[in-house]
Amino acid sequence: MLMDNYEQLVERIASSSGLEKKEIERRVEAKRAKLSGLVSKEGAAQIVAAELGINFDQEKMKLNQLLLGMKRANVVGKVIEVYPVREFNKNGREGKVANLMVADESGNARIVLWDVNHIALVENNKINKGDFIEISNGNVRNNGEVHLSSFSDIKLSKEKIENVIVERFFGEKKLGEAKAGESIKTRAVIVQVFDPRYFEACPQCGKRVTDGKCVSHGEVEGKKRALLNLVLDDGSESIRAVLFGDHIGKLGLSEEEIFSLEKFALKKVDILGEELVFSGNLRSNALYNTIEFNVEGIEKIKMDELIKELEKKAG
């Protein structure tokens, strides 16, 4: 959750500086006028904060206080999700990237690891779901993601946080307006359904098992998992959507229907053309140079809310 609320930002500057809120607002408007309106209110407020000697980059912050563009964000949170490490090959550059979801009592955010040493902590199970971690010098990018480079630091923390907010926040947005890295919710129609693909996963960490071996746990008896690709259209754009594991069942499919291609083929007809509310994260597919919708939530359309929405637009 990214702090993009101008009012909150002004209040923080006022509190840190000891000046009245109205005085901060006056300085912000003066700064915007001096720069001919070329910066947003939030940008001007950050300049005013710097002139007052207030540097948010040096303080430990709550996740909902993060500011877009921060280069040295410092946070402490609980790991609520660890995603499989992905390999990529983009413009001749090969590498790996790891993603975590971290939460505190104010909200949650995706943490993106690019440094090989940080990624190794995930691969070697040095950082696991349920751990408390401390992050230093993170770079806050679009949608409040915190990206860690070799100049950043991530380590286990002795600090414990009660009542962390696990629920993800998905802003309502059309597919045609959304960008890679954003977490969104949109009402869309399933216009194409592909057959599921199956693979073996480690029962302990969920990573792919190859030739009976997990990179983290050695020889294991893999558990059969499924991956399903759809094409969604919300009236603004069509996009390929990816569903993993339990999320496939949210389409109303039983395990038997998911893991039997014959039974899936019968159910496929019911899924095609269905309109539902999808929530998840948009990400770049480096292999195909496209954007995919990684679906995490599926809800049926609530007709009473839809009617209210239509009445609001009409009136």
CATH number at residue 214: 2.40.50.140
| Residue 221 and residue 304 share a domain | yes
| Residue 301 and residue 181 share a domain | yes
What's the start-to-end Cα distance of the chain, in Å? 32
pLDDT of residue 2: 46
| Residue 175 and residue 127 share a domain | no
| Residue 28 and residue 151 share a domain | no
Taking the C-alpha atoms of residue 118 and residue 115, their distance in angstroms, rounded to an integer, is 5
pLDDT of residue 289: 73
| Counted domains in the chain | 3
pLDDT of residue 313: 62
Q: CB–CB of 224/200 below 8 Å?
A: yes
Q: At what angle do helices 6-17 and 41-51 cross, to 10 degrees?
A: 10
pLDDT of residue 198: 92
| Residue 188 and residue 291 share a domain | yes
Taking the C-alpha atoms of residue 109 and residue 122, their distance in angstroms, rounded to an integer, is 17
**Domain endpoint, select from 38, 54, 70:** 54
DSSP state of 212: T
Q: CB–CB of 95/138 below 8 Å?
A: no
Q: CB–CB of 106/144 below 8 Å?
A: no
pLDDT of residue 102: 94
Range of the domain at 68: 57-167
SS3 137: strand
pLDDT of residue 154: 97
| Residue 65 and residue 161 share a domain | yes
| Residue 275 and residue 177 share a domain | yes
Residue of 245, 260, 230, 247 lying closest to 200 (CA atoms): 245
SS3 117: helix
Give the residue ranges of the chain where pLDDT is below 70: 1-5, 56-58, 68, 90-91, 142-143, 181, 286-288, 305-306, 308-315
pLDDT of residue 248: 94
User: To the nearest 10°, the Cα dihedral for 129, 133, 139, 142?
Assistant: 40
204-219 pLDDT, tens digit per residue, is 777 788 888 887 778 8
Using alpha carbons, list the distances in angstroms from residue 54 to 12, 16, 110: 10, 7, 26
